Amino acid sequence: MSISPDVVRSWIHQAQTWIDLGKLNEAHDLLKHTEDVVLHSLENSQESERQVLLAETYNNQACYYNKCNKPKLAASLLTQAIQLQIKANANSVTLAKTNLNLAAALSLLGRHEDSLNHAMQALNLLTRGEENDEAIETIAIAHHSFATQNEHLGRLGDAVLHYRLALDQLKRLSWLHPLMSYLEEALQDAENRNTSIAMFVSERQSLRERARVGHRIRPTPLPSWVPSSTKQILPSKVPVPYKAPFSARRSVSPRRKKNRLAKLKPQNLTLDYESIGLPDISKGTNKINRTNMYNIN
């Protein structure tokens, strides 16, 4: 019995309607029957027409498997559908829709980079085709898919951009698309999260800058033999709290102090005796306590 391609297309359309209504068992049986008919009962049809009908059948079967939470089977069928459509020289809108279905299946598998690539392929195909309502709607869906995958990958700036582009495309249609309200909510949510992240990053950078300035190397406290009138030049304008000498902060027994001093090496200090008014101990007059020349911290 010969079956016309128009009958097969009506079966495919009916199966898609049942999938949308949730009648998955009826849709599955009809699609299996359609696949068998396309493969074995369309002898009088051209090969390109059979390839297009088989690709449409695989597309609908992939929608069924996505509904059944089997995205791996859906991705396999959609890959075959794309190969068939390329061989049959299908139009750009049809091939773009199959790429978008494959992008959705790969997203469910967590392969967001691959999904992003197929959404990009769909956009490239649509920019070279005609501009009618079907093409404009598909372009909007492609931008939506692109934005969604960028959200999964944490690229909120790109997601916001493509949500806006998707809305701009839907506004070109002569009728109100049901995806419009969803896209507006998704755009608002992505903008809010992008703003929050930008504020968080800015605050973290500010805190890091404060910490970097606050942890600069502090100047060494002046030795006890330097007059208090001597001014100490700080490396920055950040106020540095004075750190008292060790002897003023904690009482140390003479024996422990002697042991600590024995481990230290004298600093290489060049003293200008005339400017600071200290006696020249190298001449052997007016000896001062040598331990005061050590910086004990």
Domains, the chain: 5-207 (1.25.40.10), 246-293 (no CATH)
Please give the residue that has the higher pLDDT: either 136 or 289.
136
Question: Which DSSP category does 219 fall into?
Answer: P
> Are the CB atoms for 106 and 114 separated by under 8 Å?
yes
* Residue 296 or 126, more confident: 126
> What is the reported pLDDT for 250?
58
3-state secondary structure of 67: helix
Burial class (CB in 10 A: 0-12, 13-18, 19+), 246: middle
Phi and psi at 145, nearest 5°, equal -65, -40
pLDDT above 90 as % of the chain: 26
Angle at 152 between CA 164 and CA 135, to 5 degrees: 40
Q: pLDDT tens digits for 81-120? A: 999 999 888 888 999 999 999 999 999 999 999 999 999 9
**CA distance linking residue 106 with residue 158, whole number of Å:** 19
> What's the whole-model pTM score?
0.65
Distance CA 170, CA 120 (A): 18
Sign, CA dihedral 10-11-16-20, equals: positive
* pLDDT surpasses 60 at 249: no
Residue 266 has pLDDT above 80, yes or no: no
- pLDDT band of residue 57 (cuts 50, 70, 90) is very high
In 3D space, the residue among 278, 284, 145 whose CA is nearest the CA of residue 224 turns out to be: 278
Q: What is the mean pLDDT of residues 40-47?
A: 72
Q: In terms of Cα–Cα distance, which of 86, 91, 66, 90 is closest to 76?
A: 66
| Cα–Cα distance for residue pair 274/85, rounded to 1 Å | 97
Query: What count of residues does the chain have?
Result: 297
pLDDT for the residue 82: 93
CA–CA distances in Å: residue 140 to residues 69, 136, 147, 215: 25, 6, 11, 52
Place of tokens 């419009």: 180
Burial label for 36, CB within 10 Å (0-12, 13-18, 19+), is exposed
Distances in Å between the Cα of 184 and the Cα atoms of 68, 104, 134, 153, 164 are 29, 20, 21, 20, 9
The pLDDT, as a whole number, for residue 214 is: 59
Average of per-residue pLDDT across 37-65: 85
